[in-house]
Chain A
Amino acid sequence: AQSVTQLGSHVSVSEGALVLLRCNYSSSVPPYLFWYVQYPNQGLQLLLKYTTGATLVKGINGFEAEFKKSETSFHLTKPSAHMSDAAEYFCAVSPLYNFNKFYFGSGTKLNVKP
């Protein structure tokens, strides 16, 4: 069975600092990988995804993530945090044997301090 682990339910950074949100998955076959963001009182919005090809993927709002098969990880980074990045971030996987279903991590709330 698939599982997704997001380390740290809350992460706090200063404005301008590096953002690093961690995601690890468990799967014998690397799945397709996604990061979603949820701003307060809004739905989930796709930030970026990895399906095939280049393992470093760039998304919206300056975020990027790198798929590392050897570490079964797909950590999300942004070089310089902005106040508007404060939101909850969800890592999700879609197993290759079933594109119908996403498995989500428990989410990480990002707080950005001025």
Chain B
Amino acid sequence: EPEVTQTPSHQVTQMGQEVILRCVPISNHLYFYWYRQILGQKVEFLVSFYNNEISEKSEIFDDQFSVERPDGSNFTLKIRSTKLEDSAMYFCASSGGLAGAGGELFFGEGSRLTVL
């Protein structure tokens, strides 16, 4: 069964360092998303990506964050200069159509980021 894969599963970094979280969405999907979950809090929308550009982003997704689909298979989330409050589980997701319009959002297993 096709699945979304994320690497690394866990990353520990020092405050101020750059981090890149990688995702391989399901191959024929067109819509890509990043969500995050701070420990004990809700899963929060960060950004959606379609047709090689950001289609929507939340207020959390400030200038420290960027996304890229560098090679047609990977979908990356970069945090330029990590802060303590960026510590969270980051979920990548993909869908074949607009997920909320009745399509299904397929999630990866998450990448846990710990900022020290």
Contact = CB atoms under 8 A, between A and B. Distances in A.
A88 to B, nearest CB: 10
Contacts, number: 66
A44 B107 contact: yes
B45 interface: yes
A69 interface: no
B104 to A, nearest CB: 5
Contacts of A30: none
Given A44-B43, A104-B43, A106-B42, A99 B99 contact: yes
Which size bracket describes the interface of B in this complex? 20 to 34
Which size bracket describes the interface of A in this complex? 20 to 34
Interface of A: 31-32, 34, 36, 41-46, 49, 51, 90, 92, 94-95, 98-107
23 contacts: A31-B100, A32-B101, A32-B102, A43-B4, A43-B91, A43-B109, A44-B43, A46-B105, A46-B106, A49-B102, A51-B101, A90-B43, A94-B99, A94-B101, A95-B100, A98-B56, A98-B100, A99-B98, A100-B55, A101-B58, A104-B42, A104-B44, A105-B42
Interface of B: 4, 31, 35, 41-45, 48, 55-56, 58, 91, 93, 98-102, 104-110
